[in-house]
Amino acid sequence: MDPGNWITDLSAGASFGYRLLWVLVLSNGIAILLQTLAARLGIVGGRDLAQACRETYPRVVNIALWLLCEVAIVACDLAEVLGAAVALNLLFHLPLIIGVIVTALDTLVILLLQKMGIRTIEAVILSLITVIAVCFGIQIFMAKPEWAGMAVGLVPRLSGQTLYITIAIVGATVMPHNLYLHSALVQTRQIEPSVEGRRIACKFNLIDSTIALCGAMLVNCAILILAAATFFRHHQEVNDLGQAYLMLVPLLGSTAAGILFAVALLSSGQSSTLTGTMAGQIVMEGFVNIRVRPWLRRIVTRAMAILPAVGVIYLAGDSGVGRLLILSQVVLSMQLPFAIIPLIHFTSDRARMGTFANPLWVKFAAWACAVAIVAANEWLVFQSIGDFVHAAPAYAAPIWGLSLAIVAGVVTLLLWITFEPAITRRAVRAGAASDLVEAPRRIPVASLEYKRILVPLDHTTLDREALAHAAALATTQRAKLFLLHVEEGVTSQVYGPLSSTAEVEAGRQYLEEMVESLRNFNLDVETAIRHSSDPTREIVRYAREVHPDLLVMGAHGHGRLKDLIFGDTINPVRHLLKIPILVVRAGE
Protein backbone atom coordinates (compact mmCIF):
# COMPACT_ATOMS: atom_id res chain seq x y z
CA MET A 1 0.00 0.00 0.00
CA ASP A 2 1.47 3.31 -1.10
CA PRO A 3 0.18 6.59 -2.62
CA GLY A 4 0.44 5.07 -6.10
CA ASN A 5 -2.06 2.36 -5.18
CA TRP A 6 -4.41 4.88 -3.61
CA ILE A 7 -4.56 7.27 -6.56
CA THR A 8 -5.04 4.51 -9.17
CA ASP A 9 -7.83 2.87 -7.16
CA LEU A 10 -9.48 6.20 -6.48
CA SER A 11 -9.31 7.30 -10.11
CA ALA A 12 -10.53 3.93 -11.41
CA GLY A 13 -13.55 3.88 -9.08
CA ALA A 14 -14.47 7.52 -9.60
CA SER A 15 -14.14 7.39 -13.40
CA PHE A 16 -15.37 3.88 -14.27
CA GLY A 17 -17.31 2.68 -11.24
CA TYR A 18 -16.89 -1.03 -10.50
CA ARG A 19 -15.78 -1.81 -14.06
CA LEU A 20 -12.08 -2.25 -13.21
CA LEU A 21 -12.49 -4.34 -10.08
CA TRP A 22 -11.28 -7.35 -12.07
CA VAL A 23 -7.97 -5.59 -12.74
CA LEU A 24 -7.20 -5.42 -9.01
CA VAL A 25 -7.98 -9.12 -8.55
CA LEU A 26 -5.99 -10.20 -11.62
CA SER A 27 -2.99 -7.98 -10.88
CA ASN A 28 -2.93 -9.35 -7.32
CA GLY A 29 -2.82 -12.90 -8.72
CA ILE A 30 0.05 -11.88 -11.02
CA ALA A 31 1.89 -10.34 -8.08
CA ILE A 32 1.51 -13.54 -6.01
CA LEU A 33 2.81 -15.67 -8.90
CA LEU A 34 5.82 -13.46 -9.60
CA GLN A 35 6.71 -12.94 -5.95
CA THR A 36 6.62 -16.72 -5.53
CA LEU A 37 9.02 -17.16 -8.45
CA ALA A 38 11.30 -14.44 -7.07
CA ALA A 39 11.34 -16.16 -3.67
CA ARG A 40 12.11 -19.50 -5.28
CA LEU A 41 15.01 -18.01 -7.21
CA GLY A 42 16.50 -16.61 -4.02
CA ILE A 43 15.93 -19.68 -1.85
CA VAL A 44 16.89 -22.39 -4.35
CA GLY A 45 19.12 -20.57 -6.83
CA GLY A 46 20.98 -18.67 -4.12
CA ARG A 47 20.94 -15.46 -6.16
CA ASP A 48 18.73 -12.42 -6.24
CA LEU A 49 17.31 -11.50 -9.63
CA ALA A 50 19.90 -8.80 -10.32
CA GLN A 51 22.82 -11.11 -9.47
CA ALA A 52 21.40 -13.82 -11.73
CA CYS A 53 21.20 -11.31 -14.58
CA ARG A 54 24.80 -10.24 -14.01
CA GLU A 55 25.96 -13.84 -14.17
CA THR A 56 24.05 -14.54 -17.36
CA TYR A 57 23.93 -11.42 -19.53
CA PRO A 58 26.68 -9.28 -21.14
CA ARG A 59 27.64 -6.12 -19.32
CA VAL A 60 25.90 -3.81 -21.79
CA VAL A 61 22.60 -5.65 -21.25
CA ASN A 62 23.02 -5.54 -17.48
CA ILE A 63 23.66 -1.79 -17.58
CA ALA A 64 20.54 -1.28 -19.69
CA LEU A 65 18.41 -3.39 -17.32
CA TRP A 66 19.88 -1.59 -14.32
CA LEU A 67 19.07 1.85 -15.76
CA LEU A 68 15.50 0.77 -16.56
CA CYS A 69 15.10 -0.52 -13.01
CA GLU A 70 16.47 2.74 -11.62
CA VAL A 71 13.83 4.61 -13.63
CA ALA A 72 11.15 2.42 -12.02
CA ILE A 73 12.56 3.09 -8.55
CA VAL A 74 12.57 6.85 -9.17
CA ALA A 75 8.98 6.60 -10.47
CA CYS A 76 7.97 4.79 -7.29
CA ASP A 77 9.76 7.37 -5.17
CA LEU A 78 7.98 10.09 -7.10
CA ALA A 79 4.68 8.65 -5.89
CA GLU A 80 5.97 8.70 -2.29
CA VAL A 81 7.09 12.33 -2.68
CA LEU A 82 3.74 13.47 -4.03
CA GLY A 83 1.79 11.40 -1.50
CA ALA A 84 3.81 12.84 1.36
CA ALA A 85 3.30 16.36 0.00
CA VAL A 86 -0.48 15.83 -0.07
CA ALA A 87 -0.37 14.41 3.48
CA LEU A 88 1.60 17.42 4.74
CA ASN A 89 -0.90 19.68 3.00
CA LEU A 90 -3.77 17.98 4.83
CA LEU A 91 -2.00 17.97 8.19
CA PHE A 92 -0.27 21.37 8.19
CA HIS A 93 -1.77 23.17 5.16
CA LEU A 94 1.65 23.40 3.53
CA PRO A 95 1.59 24.31 -0.17
CA LEU A 96 2.30 21.22 -2.26
CA ILE A 97 5.52 22.57 -3.72
CA ILE A 98 6.86 23.25 -0.20
CA GLY A 99 5.72 19.80 0.92
CA VAL A 100 7.63 18.20 -1.95
CA ILE A 101 10.82 19.97 -0.91
CA VAL A 102 10.29 19.03 2.75
CA THR A 103 10.14 15.35 1.78
CA ALA A 104 13.87 15.54 1.09
CA LEU A 105 14.34 15.63 4.87
CA ASP A 106 12.59 12.30 5.45
CA THR A 107 15.54 10.63 3.72
CA LEU A 108 17.66 11.09 6.82
CA VAL A 109 14.77 10.20 9.12
CA ILE A 110 14.19 6.90 7.30
CA LEU A 111 17.88 5.98 7.53
CA LEU A 112 17.76 6.65 11.28
CA LEU A 113 14.57 4.59 11.68
CA GLN A 114 16.25 1.61 10.00
CA LYS A 115 18.41 1.27 13.10
CA MET A 116 15.24 0.43 15.07
CA GLY A 117 14.84 -2.71 13.01
CA ILE A 118 12.72 -3.39 9.98
CA ARG A 119 10.19 -5.45 11.96
CA THR A 120 9.36 -2.55 14.28
CA ILE A 121 8.85 -0.16 11.38
CA GLU A 122 6.72 -2.67 9.48
CA ALA A 123 4.56 -3.22 12.55
CA VAL A 124 3.89 0.51 12.94
CA ILE A 125 3.06 0.96 9.26
CA LEU A 126 0.85 -2.14 9.21
CA SER A 127 -1.06 -0.92 12.25
CA LEU A 128 -1.82 2.41 10.60
CA ILE A 129 -2.90 0.84 7.33
CA THR A 130 -5.08 -1.64 9.24
CA VAL A 131 -6.92 1.27 10.82
CA ILE A 132 -7.54 2.76 7.37
CA ALA A 133 -8.65 -0.61 6.01
CA VAL A 134 -11.20 -0.95 8.81
CA CYS A 135 -12.44 2.59 8.20
CA PHE A 136 -12.86 1.96 4.48
CA GLY A 137 -14.60 -1.34 5.18
CA ILE A 138 -17.11 0.25 7.56
CA GLN A 139 -17.76 3.12 5.20
CA ILE A 140 -18.38 0.71 2.33
CA PHE A 141 -21.21 -0.68 4.43
CA MET A 142 -22.48 2.85 5.03
CA ALA A 143 -22.23 3.78 1.33
CA LYS A 144 -24.35 0.77 0.33
CA PRO A 145 -22.56 -0.17 -2.90
CA GLU A 146 -24.32 -2.02 -5.69
CA TRP A 147 -23.43 -5.66 -5.13
CA ALA A 148 -24.64 -6.60 -8.59
CA GLY A 149 -22.39 -3.93 -10.09
CA MET A 150 -19.45 -5.28 -8.09
CA ALA A 151 -20.10 -8.77 -9.46
CA VAL A 152 -20.20 -7.44 -13.02
CA GLY A 153 -16.94 -5.58 -12.31
CA LEU A 154 -15.16 -8.91 -11.81
CA VAL A 155 -15.74 -9.78 -15.49
CA PRO A 156 -12.67 -8.77 -17.55
CA ARG A 157 -13.34 -5.93 -20.02
CA LEU A 158 -10.74 -3.65 -21.55
CA SER A 159 -11.06 -0.69 -23.90
CA GLY A 160 -9.01 2.24 -25.07
CA GLN A 161 -10.65 4.42 -22.42
CA THR A 162 -9.73 2.16 -19.52
CA LEU A 163 -6.32 1.07 -20.83
CA TYR A 164 -4.27 3.82 -19.19
CA ILE A 165 -5.63 3.39 -15.67
CA THR A 166 -5.57 -0.42 -16.05
CA ILE A 167 -1.85 -0.38 -16.79
CA ALA A 168 -1.29 2.02 -13.87
CA ILE A 169 -3.08 -0.39 -11.49
CA VAL A 170 -0.91 -3.30 -12.67
CA GLY A 171 2.27 -1.27 -12.18
CA ALA A 172 1.17 -0.07 -8.75
CA THR A 173 0.32 -3.61 -7.63
CA VAL A 174 3.19 -5.70 -9.01
CA MET A 175 6.01 -3.09 -8.78
CA PRO A 176 8.99 -4.53 -10.71
CA HIS A 177 11.74 -3.46 -8.30
CA ASN A 178 10.04 -5.45 -5.53
CA LEU A 179 10.81 -8.64 -7.48
CA TYR A 180 14.52 -7.85 -7.13
CA LEU A 181 14.04 -6.97 -3.48
CA HIS A 182 12.01 -10.08 -2.64
CA SER A 183 14.49 -12.44 -4.28
CA ALA A 184 17.22 -10.95 -2.05
CA LEU A 185 15.39 -10.68 1.26
CA VAL A 186 14.18 -14.30 1.25
CA GLN A 187 17.83 -15.32 1.50
CA THR A 188 18.07 -13.71 4.92
CA ARG A 189 16.46 -16.72 6.58
CA GLN A 190 18.45 -19.62 7.94
CA ILE A 191 17.30 -22.45 5.66
CA GLU A 192 18.14 -26.11 5.92
CA PRO A 193 20.44 -26.73 2.91
CA SER A 194 18.49 -29.73 1.65
CA VAL A 195 15.72 -30.30 -0.87
CA GLU A 196 13.14 -30.67 1.88
CA GLY A 197 14.43 -27.60 3.73
CA ARG A 198 14.17 -25.48 0.63
CA ARG A 199 10.74 -26.89 -0.15
CA ILE A 200 9.48 -25.89 3.30
CA ALA A 201 11.00 -22.42 2.93
CA CYS A 202 9.30 -21.96 -0.46
CA LYS A 203 5.99 -23.09 1.03
CA PHE A 204 6.06 -20.63 3.91
CA ASN A 205 7.17 -17.78 1.66
CA LEU A 206 4.18 -18.54 -0.58
CA ILE A 207 1.86 -18.37 2.44
CA ASP A 208 3.48 -15.15 3.66
CA SER A 209 3.28 -13.43 0.26
CA THR A 210 -0.28 -14.58 -0.36
CA ILE A 211 -1.55 -13.27 2.97
CA ALA A 212 0.26 -9.92 2.60
CA LEU A 213 -0.79 -9.33 -1.01
CA CYS A 214 -4.39 -10.43 -0.45
CA GLY A 215 -4.61 -8.07 2.50
CA ALA A 216 -3.36 -5.24 0.30
CA MET A 217 -5.84 -6.26 -2.42
CA LEU A 218 -8.76 -5.98 0.00
CA VAL A 219 -7.74 -2.44 0.93
CA ASN A 220 -7.31 -1.53 -2.74
CA CYS A 221 -10.71 -3.00 -3.56
CA ALA A 222 -12.25 -1.11 -0.66
CA ILE A 223 -10.90 2.21 -1.99
CA LEU A 224 -12.13 1.50 -5.52
CA ILE A 225 -15.58 0.32 -4.35
CA LEU A 226 -16.02 3.31 -2.07
CA ALA A 227 -14.98 5.71 -4.82
CA ALA A 228 -17.47 4.04 -7.18
CA ALA A 229 -20.26 4.10 -4.61
CA THR A 230 -19.76 7.78 -3.79
CA PHE A 231 -18.06 9.79 -6.52
CA PHE A 232 -19.04 7.75 -9.60
CA ARG A 233 -22.63 7.43 -8.42
CA HIS A 234 -22.86 11.23 -8.15
CA HIS A 235 -20.91 11.83 -11.38
CA GLN A 236 -17.97 13.43 -9.61
CA GLU A 237 -14.65 12.63 -11.27
CA VAL A 238 -11.85 12.57 -8.71
CA ASN A 239 -8.17 12.28 -9.64
CA ASP A 240 -6.60 13.88 -6.59
CA LEU A 241 -5.57 12.33 -3.28
CA GLY A 242 -6.38 15.59 -1.56
CA GLN A 243 -10.08 14.97 -2.17
CA ALA A 244 -9.99 11.38 -0.93
CA TYR A 245 -9.95 12.29 2.75
CA LEU A 246 -13.53 13.49 2.30
CA MET A 247 -14.55 9.81 2.19
CA LEU A 248 -13.88 9.46 5.91
CA VAL A 249 -15.79 12.57 6.98
CA PRO A 250 -19.17 10.82 7.51
CA LEU A 251 -17.51 8.15 9.63
CA LEU A 252 -15.16 9.99 11.99
CA GLY A 253 -15.89 13.70 11.59
CA SER A 254 -13.93 16.07 9.35
CA THR A 255 -10.92 16.83 11.58
CA ALA A 256 -10.30 13.29 12.81
CA ALA A 257 -10.88 11.80 9.36
CA GLY A 258 -8.47 14.19 7.68
CA ILE A 259 -5.75 13.61 10.26
CA LEU A 260 -6.17 9.82 10.18
CA PHE A 261 -6.12 9.68 6.40
CA ALA A 262 -3.11 12.01 6.14
CA VAL A 263 -1.08 10.17 8.78
CA ALA A 264 -1.78 6.82 7.13
CA LEU A 265 -0.97 8.25 3.70
CA LEU A 266 2.30 9.67 4.98
CA SER A 267 3.18 6.44 6.81
CA SER A 268 2.38 4.16 3.89
CA GLY A 269 4.63 6.28 1.74
CA GLN A 270 7.47 5.86 4.21
CA SER A 271 7.01 2.09 4.15
CA SER A 272 7.45 2.11 0.38
CA THR A 273 10.36 4.52 0.74
CA LEU A 274 12.14 1.90 2.84
CA THR A 275 11.58 -0.84 0.27
CA GLY A 276 12.61 1.50 -2.54
CA THR A 277 15.87 2.33 -0.78
CA MET A 278 16.71 -1.34 -0.21
CA ALA A 279 15.69 -2.29 -3.75
CA GLY A 280 17.91 0.46 -5.14
CA GLN A 281 20.92 -0.86 -3.24
CA ILE A 282 20.20 -4.43 -4.33
CA VAL A 283 19.88 -3.66 -8.04
CA MET A 284 22.99 -1.49 -8.04
CA GLU A 285 25.04 -4.15 -6.26
CA GLY A 286 23.53 -6.98 -8.28
CA PHE A 287 23.66 -5.57 -11.82
CA VAL A 288 26.89 -3.56 -11.81
CA ASN A 289 28.56 -4.59 -8.53
CA ILE A 290 28.67 -1.03 -7.19
CA ARG A 291 28.12 -0.43 -3.48
CA VAL A 292 27.70 3.12 -2.23
CA ARG A 293 26.72 4.59 1.10
CA PRO A 294 22.98 4.17 1.83
CA TRP A 295 22.47 7.85 2.65
CA LEU A 296 24.00 8.92 -0.66
CA ARG A 297 21.95 6.37 -2.57
CA ARG A 298 18.80 7.64 -0.87
CA ILE A 299 19.53 11.32 -1.47
CA VAL A 300 20.26 10.83 -5.18
CA THR A 301 17.06 8.83 -5.71
CA ARG A 302 14.95 11.35 -3.82
CA ALA A 303 16.51 14.29 -5.70
CA MET A 304 15.64 12.66 -9.03
CA ALA A 305 12.04 12.27 -7.84
CA ILE A 306 11.71 15.79 -6.45
CA LEU A 307 12.79 17.55 -9.65
CA PRO A 308 9.87 16.38 -11.85
CA ALA A 309 7.44 16.83 -8.95
CA VAL A 310 8.45 20.46 -8.43
CA GLY A 311 8.42 21.09 -12.18
CA VAL A 312 4.89 19.74 -12.66
CA ILE A 313 3.47 21.58 -9.64
CA TYR A 314 5.12 24.81 -10.77
CA LEU A 315 3.90 24.52 -14.37
CA ALA A 316 0.53 22.77 -13.96
CA GLY A 317 -0.36 23.69 -10.41
CA ASP A 318 -1.87 21.38 -7.80
CA SER A 319 -4.16 19.84 -10.41
CA GLY A 320 -1.18 18.19 -12.09
CA VAL A 321 -0.28 16.10 -9.03
CA GLY A 322 -2.89 13.39 -9.61
CA ARG A 323 -1.95 12.99 -13.28
CA LEU A 324 1.75 12.75 -12.44
CA LEU A 325 1.01 10.16 -9.74
CA ILE A 326 -0.85 7.95 -12.20
CA LEU A 327 1.90 8.40 -14.82
CA SER A 328 4.50 7.19 -12.30
CA GLN A 329 2.56 3.95 -11.91
CA VAL A 330 2.34 3.53 -15.70
CA VAL A 331 6.14 3.80 -15.81
CA LEU A 332 6.33 0.91 -13.32
CA SER A 333 4.21 -1.24 -15.61
CA MET A 334 6.39 -0.38 -18.61
CA GLN A 335 9.43 -1.74 -16.77
CA LEU A 336 7.73 -4.95 -15.65
CA PRO A 337 8.61 -7.14 -18.70
CA PHE A 338 12.32 -6.49 -18.18
CA ALA A 339 12.07 -8.07 -14.72
CA ILE A 340 9.45 -10.74 -15.45
CA ILE A 341 11.07 -12.37 -18.50
CA PRO A 342 14.51 -12.96 -16.92
CA LEU A 343 12.74 -14.23 -13.79
CA ILE A 344 10.78 -16.80 -15.82
CA HIS A 345 13.92 -17.94 -17.66
CA PHE A 346 15.96 -18.36 -14.48
CA THR A 347 13.28 -20.19 -12.51
CA SER A 348 12.55 -22.49 -15.46
CA ASP A 349 16.21 -23.51 -15.82
CA ARG A 350 16.79 -27.01 -14.41
CA ALA A 351 20.56 -26.46 -14.32
CA ARG A 352 19.98 -23.67 -11.82
CA MET A 353 16.83 -24.79 -10.01
CA GLY A 354 16.97 -28.60 -10.17
CA THR A 355 13.70 -30.18 -9.07
CA PHE A 356 12.37 -26.71 -8.21
CA ALA A 357 12.32 -25.62 -11.86
CA ASN A 358 8.95 -24.31 -12.99
CA PRO A 359 6.48 -27.02 -14.04
CA LEU A 360 4.67 -26.62 -17.34
CA TRP A 361 1.54 -25.00 -15.89
CA VAL A 362 3.59 -22.38 -14.03
CA LYS A 363 5.55 -21.59 -17.20
CA PHE A 364 2.28 -21.18 -19.09
CA ALA A 365 0.77 -18.91 -16.44
CA ALA A 366 3.93 -16.82 -16.11
CA TRP A 367 4.40 -16.38 -19.85
CA ALA A 368 0.71 -15.53 -20.23
CA CYS A 369 1.18 -12.74 -17.69
CA ALA A 370 4.29 -11.50 -19.48
CA VAL A 371 2.65 -11.52 -22.91
CA ALA A 372 -0.48 -9.76 -21.61
CA ILE A 373 1.57 -7.00 -19.94
CA VAL A 374 3.78 -6.51 -23.01
CA ALA A 375 0.74 -6.35 -25.31
CA ALA A 376 -1.07 -3.83 -23.07
CA ASN A 377 2.08 -1.69 -22.82
CA GLU A 378 2.54 -1.69 -26.60
CA TRP A 379 -1.10 -0.75 -27.10
CA LEU A 380 -0.72 2.19 -24.73
CA VAL A 381 2.57 3.33 -26.27
CA PHE A 382 1.19 3.55 -29.80
CA GLN A 383 -2.06 5.06 -28.54
CA SER A 384 -0.06 7.76 -26.74
CA ILE A 385 2.10 8.47 -29.79
CA GLY A 386 -1.07 8.85 -31.84
CA ASP A 387 -2.48 11.28 -29.27
CA PHE A 388 0.71 13.37 -29.37
CA VAL A 389 0.60 13.50 -33.17
CA HIS A 390 -3.09 14.45 -33.13
CA ALA A 391 -2.37 17.24 -30.64
CA ALA A 392 0.56 18.62 -32.69
CA PRO A 393 0.12 17.56 -36.33
CA ALA A 394 2.80 20.01 -37.51
CA TYR A 395 5.41 17.97 -35.62
CA ALA A 396 4.13 14.55 -36.66
CA ALA A 397 7.31 13.49 -38.46
CA PRO A 398 9.77 14.25 -35.61
CA ILE A 399 7.38 12.80 -33.02
CA TRP A 400 7.08 9.54 -34.94
CA GLY A 401 10.80 9.46 -35.73
CA LEU A 402 11.93 9.98 -32.12
CA SER A 403 9.25 7.68 -30.72
CA LEU A 404 10.03 4.83 -33.12
CA ALA A 405 13.77 5.12 -32.43
CA ILE A 406 13.15 4.77 -28.68
CA VAL A 407 10.66 1.95 -29.21
CA ALA A 408 13.13 0.13 -31.50
CA GLY A 409 15.84 0.22 -28.81
CA VAL A 410 13.50 -0.98 -26.08
CA VAL A 411 12.03 -3.73 -28.26
CA THR A 412 15.53 -4.92 -29.22
CA LEU A 413 16.46 -5.27 -25.55
CA LEU A 414 13.17 -7.02 -24.83
CA LEU A 415 13.66 -9.49 -27.68
CA TRP A 416 17.22 -10.18 -26.60
CA ILE A 417 16.34 -11.13 -23.03
CA THR A 418 13.36 -13.12 -24.31
CA PHE A 419 15.35 -15.30 -26.70
CA GLU A 420 18.72 -15.19 -24.92
CA PRO A 421 18.62 -18.84 -23.76
CA ALA A 422 18.13 -20.01 -27.34
CA ILE A 423 20.83 -17.63 -28.63
CA THR A 424 23.69 -18.22 -26.24
CA ARG A 425 22.87 -21.29 -24.10
CA ARG A 426 25.07 -19.95 -21.37
CA ALA A 427 26.11 -22.40 -18.70
CA VAL A 428 24.86 -21.39 -15.28
CA ARG A 429 27.53 -21.46 -12.68
CA ALA A 430 25.18 -22.92 -10.13
CA GLY A 431 26.44 -23.15 -6.58
CA ALA A 432 29.68 -21.33 -7.35
CA ALA A 433 30.76 -18.08 -5.79
CA SER A 434 30.66 -16.59 -9.33
CA ASP A 435 32.02 -13.06 -9.44
CA LEU A 436 30.47 -12.16 -6.10
CA VAL A 437 33.94 -12.51 -4.60
CA GLU A 438 37.32 -13.17 -6.11
CA ALA A 439 38.82 -16.63 -5.60
CA PRO A 440 41.73 -16.62 -3.13
CA ARG A 441 45.26 -17.08 -4.32
CA ARG A 442 48.38 -18.42 -2.65
CA ILE A 443 49.70 -15.94 -0.09
CA PRO A 444 53.46 -15.20 -0.14
CA VAL A 445 55.31 -15.12 3.16
CA ALA A 446 58.22 -12.87 4.15
CA SER A 447 59.79 -12.28 7.57
CA LEU A 448 58.93 -9.38 9.88
CA GLU A 449 58.01 -9.16 13.58
CA TYR A 450 54.63 -8.86 15.39
CA LYS A 451 52.47 -11.04 17.71
CA ARG A 452 48.70 -10.35 17.50
CA ILE A 453 47.77 -9.03 14.10
CA LEU A 454 44.29 -7.98 12.94
CA VAL A 455 43.55 -7.93 9.21
CA PRO A 456 40.17 -6.62 7.97
CA LEU A 457 39.27 -8.14 4.58
CA ASP A 458 36.98 -6.73 1.90
CA HIS A 459 37.06 -9.52 -0.71
CA THR A 460 39.19 -7.62 -3.23
CA THR A 461 42.66 -8.16 -4.66
CA LEU A 462 43.98 -6.02 -1.80
CA ASP A 463 43.29 -8.88 0.61
CA ARG A 464 46.23 -10.96 -0.58
CA GLU A 465 48.51 -7.90 -0.45
CA ALA A 466 47.52 -7.14 3.14
CA LEU A 467 47.71 -10.82 4.13
CA ALA A 468 51.16 -11.18 2.55
CA HIS A 469 52.53 -8.52 4.91
CA ALA A 470 50.58 -9.82 7.89
CA ALA A 471 51.64 -13.41 7.28
CA ALA A 472 55.26 -12.36 6.95
CA LEU A 473 55.11 -10.61 10.29
CA ALA A 474 53.27 -13.51 11.93
CA THR A 475 55.79 -16.09 10.69
CA THR A 476 58.82 -14.52 12.38
CA GLN A 477 57.21 -14.33 15.84
CA ARG A 478 54.63 -17.10 15.51
CA ALA A 479 52.01 -14.40 15.90
CA LYS A 480 48.30 -15.08 15.75
CA LEU A 481 46.31 -13.63 12.85
CA PHE A 482 42.76 -12.32 13.31
CA LEU A 483 40.82 -12.02 10.05
CA LEU A 484 37.68 -9.90 10.05
CA HIS A 485 35.17 -9.38 7.27
CA VAL A 486 32.21 -6.98 7.54
CA GLU A 487 29.25 -7.87 5.30
CA GLU A 488 27.78 -4.59 4.04
CA GLY A 489 25.04 -5.88 1.72
CA VAL A 490 21.57 -4.44 2.19
CA THR A 491 20.25 -7.67 3.72
CA SER A 492 23.14 -7.71 6.19
CA GLN A 493 22.39 -4.09 7.09
CA VAL A 494 18.74 -4.90 7.80
CA TYR A 495 18.83 -8.43 9.21
CA GLY A 496 22.36 -8.64 10.61
CA PRO A 497 23.61 -12.15 11.49
CA LEU A 498 20.31 -13.67 10.25
CA SER A 499 21.38 -12.90 6.68
CA SER A 500 22.05 -16.02 4.67
CA THR A 501 22.37 -14.79 1.10
CA ALA A 502 24.51 -16.21 -1.68
CA GLU A 503 26.92 -13.30 -1.17
CA VAL A 504 27.25 -14.02 2.54
CA GLU A 505 27.80 -17.74 1.90
CA ALA A 506 30.35 -17.01 -0.83
CA GLY A 507 32.13 -14.67 1.58
CA ARG A 508 32.21 -17.37 4.24
CA GLN A 509 33.73 -19.86 1.81
CA TYR A 510 36.24 -17.24 0.69
CA LEU A 511 37.31 -16.67 4.28
CA GLU A 512 37.64 -20.41 4.92
CA GLU A 513 39.87 -20.80 1.88
CA MET A 514 42.02 -17.90 3.05
CA VAL A 515 42.39 -19.55 6.44
CA GLU A 516 43.32 -22.90 4.87
CA SER A 517 45.96 -21.18 2.73
CA LEU A 518 47.47 -19.46 5.77
CA ARG A 519 47.43 -22.60 7.88
CA ASN A 520 49.52 -24.32 5.24
CA PHE A 521 52.29 -22.11 6.62
CA ASN A 522 51.50 -23.32 10.19
CA LEU A 523 50.03 -19.96 11.13
CA ASP A 524 47.47 -19.60 13.93
CA VAL A 525 44.37 -17.95 12.47
CA GLU A 526 41.05 -16.83 13.92
CA THR A 527 38.19 -15.42 11.86
CA ALA A 528 35.09 -13.33 12.45
CA ILE A 529 32.23 -12.16 10.22
CA ARG A 530 30.15 -9.14 11.19
CA HIS A 531 27.10 -7.60 9.50
CA SER A 532 26.76 -3.84 9.41
CA SER A 533 26.48 -0.75 7.22
CA ASP A 534 29.44 0.74 9.11
CA PRO A 535 32.72 -1.24 8.67
CA THR A 536 34.63 1.29 10.76
CA ARG A 537 32.49 0.65 13.81
CA GLU A 538 32.82 -3.13 13.49
CA ILE A 539 36.60 -3.03 12.97
CA VAL A 540 37.06 -0.87 16.06
CA ARG A 541 34.67 -3.03 18.10
CA TYR A 542 36.42 -6.28 17.13
CA ALA A 543 39.86 -4.75 17.76
CA ARG A 544 38.80 -3.89 21.30
CA GLU A 545 37.69 -7.51 21.76
CA VAL A 546 40.89 -9.23 20.56
CA HIS A 547 43.44 -6.53 21.54
CA PRO A 548 45.81 -6.72 18.55
CA ASP A 549 49.17 -5.00 18.65
CA LEU A 550 49.10 -4.32 14.90
CA LEU A 551 46.39 -3.61 12.36
CA VAL A 552 47.09 -4.33 8.70
CA MET A 553 44.70 -2.73 6.18
CA GLY A 554 44.60 -2.57 2.40
CA ALA A 555 44.08 0.86 0.79
CA HIS A 556 42.27 1.35 -2.52
CA GLY A 557 43.80 4.75 -3.16
CA HIS A 558 40.46 6.53 -3.67
CA GLY A 559 40.37 10.27 -4.05
CA ARG A 560 38.09 12.47 -1.97
CA LEU A 561 35.11 12.04 -4.28
CA LYS A 562 35.29 8.24 -4.28
CA ASP A 563 35.77 8.25 -0.51
CA LEU A 564 32.53 10.25 -0.23
CA ILE A 565 30.69 7.79 -2.47
CA PHE A 566 32.11 4.46 -1.40
CA GLY A 567 33.23 5.33 2.11
CA ASP A 568 36.58 5.83 3.83
CA THR A 569 37.57 3.34 6.50
CA ILE A 570 41.27 3.82 7.21
CA ASN A 571 41.15 7.42 8.45
CA PRO A 572 38.31 6.93 10.96
CA VAL A 573 39.90 3.68 12.22
CA ARG A 574 43.33 5.22 12.80
CA HIS A 575 41.75 7.99 14.87
CA LEU A 576 39.76 5.54 17.02
CA LEU A 577 42.45 2.91 17.71
CA LYS A 578 45.71 3.51 19.57
CA ILE A 579 47.75 0.78 17.90
CA PRO A 580 50.16 0.79 14.96
CA ILE A 581 48.47 0.50 11.57
CA LEU A 582 50.20 -0.82 8.47
CA VAL A 583 48.48 0.50 5.33
CA VAL A 584 49.16 -1.61 2.25
CA ARG A 585 48.63 -0.36 -1.29
CA ALA A 586 48.34 -2.66 -4.31
CA GLY A 587 51.76 -3.58 -5.67
CA GLU A 588 53.58 -2.25 -2.60
Residues 499 and 366 both lie in one domain: no
How does pLDDT run across 393-450, given as a tens digit for each residue? 888 888 888 888 999 999 999 999 998 877 765 444 444 334 444 445 555 544 446 7
d(CA 553, CA 551): 6
Domain holding 503: CATH number? 3.40.50.620
d(CA 181, CA 39): 10
- Residue 446's pLDDT is what? 47
Those residues with Cβ within 8 angstroms of residue 392's Cβ, 6 or more apart along the chain or in another chain: 399
Full domain range(s) for residue 536: 452-585
Residues 133 and 217 both lie in one domain: yes
Residues 340 and 465 both lie in one domain: no
How does pLDDT run across 448-507, given as a tens digit for each residue? 467 899 999 887 778 888 888 888 888 887 889 999 988 877 777 767 777 777 777 788
Q: Is 529 helix (H, G, I), strand (E, B) or coil?
A: strand
How does pLDDT run across 500-536, given as a tens digit for each residue? 777 777 888 888 888 888 888 888 999 999 888 788 8
Q: Give the 3-state secondary structure of 64-84.
A: HHHHHHHHHHHHHHHHHHHHH
d(CA 583, CA 571): 11
Burial classification of residue 334, based on how many CB atoms lie within 10 Å of its CB (0-12 exposed, 13-18 middle, 19 or more buried): buried
- Residue 432's pLDDT is what? 39
Residues 197 and 294 both lie in one domain: yes
Last residue of a domain, one of 316, 344, 377: 377
Neighbours of 355 (CB within 10 A): 9
- Please tell me the pTM assigned to this model: 0.78
Contact by Cβ (8 Å): 204, 39: no
Please give the tally of structural domains in the chain.
Answer: 2
Last residue of a domain, one of 321, 355, 377: 377
Does some domain include residue 104?
A: yes
- Residue 433's pLDDT is what? 38
Strands 452-457 and 581-585: unpaired
Intervals of the chain under pLDDT 70: 1, 106-126, 128-129, 131-132, 135-136, 139, 142-143, 188-190, 239, 242-261, 267-274, 294, 316-319, 424-449, 494, 556-568, 586-588
Q: Is 533 helix (H, G, I), strand (E, B) or coil?
A: coil
Last residue of a domain, one of 361, 377, 393: 377
Residues 355 and 500 both lie in one domain: no
Does some domain include residue 391?
A: no
- Residue 129's pLDDT is what? 66
- Residue 28's pLDDT is what? 94
- Residue 508's pLDDT is what? 85
